[in-house]
Amino acid sequence: MPPTDEAVQLTADASVHYLSVHDLVWIHSVLAGEPVPFDYERLESCMAAQYGYGDSTDVEGQSRALLRRCLLARPFERSNRPFAAAAFLAFLAANGRELTLTDEELVSAIQRLEAGEEVDLPIGPAVRAAGSSIRGIVMQMCVERKSLLRGLDEGARR
């Protein structure tokens, strides 16, 4: 018996949306205001961190792995903290989830992650629908979380 339209839709909705290396470079360029040199192997390791083994449907765990890897790998010459936060938040939004921390709590969590501490990053279902594309999600985030992203930027142009 062929699947019903409803079954096909449920399967499609259950898929995980991933960020490509190109998406990650674009996200960083938007945040930095210009293209910044990067280490491709480190950036690729960041991209790979969002994939899980086996079923690969643990969006929350995979998003945490993406954030940790982006913070530790530091693939760009500058602006790695806001990049890590934006990639993490964009991956969550693309998959219908959001972080339930305030911006200040996220800054603290990122600092503790960089210091090697284990950090609880509470994630829940998105309260409102995200943009229809990674670019839309990131542009919305840049407006709504401008102070967070600027506050994290250790290497912003002055």
pLDDT in tens, 2-18: 444 433 333 344 689 99
User: Does 46 or 156 have the greater pLDDT score?
Assistant: 46
3 within domain boundaries: no
Beta strands in the chain (DSSP E): 97-99, 123-125
* CATH number of the domain within which 23 lies: 1.20.120.1870
12 within domain boundaries: no
What is the number of structural domains in the chain? 1
6 within domain boundaries: no
27 within domain boundaries: yes
Question: Which residue stretches of 55-133 are H helix?
Answer: 59-73, 80-94, 103-114
| Per-residue pLDDT reduced to its tens digit, 21-74 | 999 999 999 999 999 999 999 999 999 999 987 777 899 999 999 999 999 999
112 within domain boundaries: yes
158 within domain boundaries: no
1 within domain boundaries: no
117 within domain boundaries: yes
- Asked if residue 46 lies in contact with residue 75, where contact means CB atoms within 8 angstroms, the answer is yes
CA distances to 43, 119, 130 from 135, rounded to whole Å, are: 18, 28, 11
Identify the domain containing residue 76 by its residue range.
Answer: 18-152
